[in-house]
Amino acid sequence: MTTVGILGGGQLARMLALAGAPLGLRFLVMDQAADACAAQFVPLLQADYTDEAALAEFARRVDVVTFDFENVPAESAQWLAARVPVFPAPRALAVAQDRIAEKSLFQDLGIATPRFSAVASRADLERALAEIGAPCILKTRRLGYDGKGQFRLATADDADAAWEALGAQAETVGLILEGFVAFERELSVLAVRGRDGAFRTWPLTRNWHAQGILSASLAPAAAPPALVDRAFSHARAIAEELDYVGVFALEMFERGGELLANEMAPRVHNSGHWTIEGAECSQFENHLRAVLGLPLGSCEARGRACMLNWVGDLPDAAAALRIAGLHWHDYGKSPRPGRKVGHATAVAENARGLESQLIALGRALGREDQVGPVLAELD
């Protein structure tokens, strides 16, 4: 029986294991936390990701390795790759871990991005501000996610406050200044590439964020065919350049019919959770198929789907489960501000059916403000 090793034991690893059970797969997760939520279902090797003895044990016990999150040290992935197949390749992980390397790759491939500049000192920040202008966002080059490691500058007068907030990290993880994009929509492409180079995409997804954390995703997103084709073409170019194997997400801003690449995630992604019930083959099953060299499944949507993230604490599941067509996911995590603890997905044959479910869900849970933007998009 094949054993898949997953570096990271959060909800993504948990959902990968649930998707892999019908395929007869076994799993081993390696995580630094003793209470990693994937460990409720699969064996856990608790260790630091840089612990070579633990990595050696991990390699001995698995047939292939993949990732739950992108902040696993690239050096550890490279060490494992010399001993066991690792997908996606460590190069993809290294590129996605560094915002400068990531955006430089996009530009090399002819994919537009917001303006950006590396910042290593207070003087660099002044120079970058003069080039890019305000408003803009100072970010850590590494480790930031879900709105962490960021400071928005409304004007150049905010430079001191920005440096006070993030300047100490300039020498450790590096900084980048990015121009603010007055976007109309946030979109993502979920794509999968197999070991044989086969490439597929799920329908374009429309996303909404709150406090830097994904709040809702709607698929398929309404968009002109030319824009959809361009988004898919960008994803294919990235996958082929990196010789990518597995699922990844490309997050983009839409502005005036133009697409600007924001970042990529070299793993299954929050904006693809709707695929569990809303697509012929979920992102989790297709990721496993890809890394194991199995034929890829269909990415076709089953009608319209909307995923709502539960952040901080879970709403009342009983109230939501009375709604036909609704699917509930509790990650088994203790509540904490800013923590993703679960999600729900509504699936219907058409926009009208989905609208009905979302109205009922918003009322049942007191989440009308969360479903409101999605309903406006469905109109």
Peptide bond into 135 cis (omega under 30): yes
Cβ contacts of residue 339 below 8 Å, gap of 6+? 311, 312, 333
Tokens (6 digits) for 87: 């997908």
pLDDT for 108 equals 97
Q: Which CATH class is domain 185-378?
A: alpha beta
Report which of 342, 366, 378, 11 is spatially closest to residue 206, judged by C-alpha positions.
378
- Report CA dihedral (131, 137, 143, 144) to the nearest 10 degrees: -170
- Give the orientation angle of helix 351-365 with respect to helix 368-378, to 10 degrees: 170
Alpha-carbon separation of residue 271 from 5, 9, 88, 121, 177 (angstroms): 23, 19, 19, 35, 25
Residues 191, 14: Cα–Cα separation, whole Å: 20
Could you tell me the residue ranges of all domains in the chain? Answer: 3-86, 115-179, 185-378
Altogether, the residues listed in the chain come to a count of: 379
- CATH no. for 3-86: 3.40.50.20
What is the pLDDT tens value at each position of the chain, 379 positions in all? 899 999 999 999 999 999 999 999 999 999 999 999 999 999 999 999 999 999 999 999 999 999 998 888 888 999 999 999 999 998 998 898 899 999 999 999 999 999 999 999 899 899 999 999 889 999 998 876 555 778 999 999 888 898 988 888 887 888 999 999 899 999 999 999 999 999 999 999 999 999 889 999 999 999 999 999 999 999 999 999 999 999 999 999 999 999 999 999 999 999 999 999 999 999 999 999 999 999 999 999 999 999 999 999 999 999 999 999 999 999 999 999 999 999 999 999 999 999 999 999 999 999 999 999 999 999 7
Burial 39-67 (b: 16+ CB within 10 A, else e): bebbebbbbebebeebbeebbeebbbbbb
Report which of 157, 156, 176 is spatially closest to residue 166, judged by C-alpha positions.
176
Tokens (6 digits) for 103: 């955006």
What fold, for 115-179?
Dna Ligase; domain 1 (3.30.1490)
pLDDT for 169 equals 85
- H helix intervals, the chain: 11-20, 52-61, 74-81, 90-97, 99-108, 122-132, 159-166, 225-241, 275-278, 283-291, 317-320, 351-365, 368-378
Alpha-carbon separation of residue 373 from 6, 243, 358, 379 (angstroms): 35, 37, 11, 10
pLDDT for 72 equals 86
Tokens (6 digits) for 296: 């890829």
pLDDT for 193 equals 98
Burial class (CB in 10 A: 0-12, 13-18, 19+), 34: exposed
Q: What is the DSSP string of 118-174?
A: EE-SHHHHHHHHHHH-SSEEEEESSS--TTTTEEEESSGGGHHHHHHHHGGGTTTT-
pLDDT for 286 equals 98
Do strands 199-201 and 185-193 pair parallel, antiparallel, or not at all (unpaired)? antiparallel
pLDDT for 146 equals 54
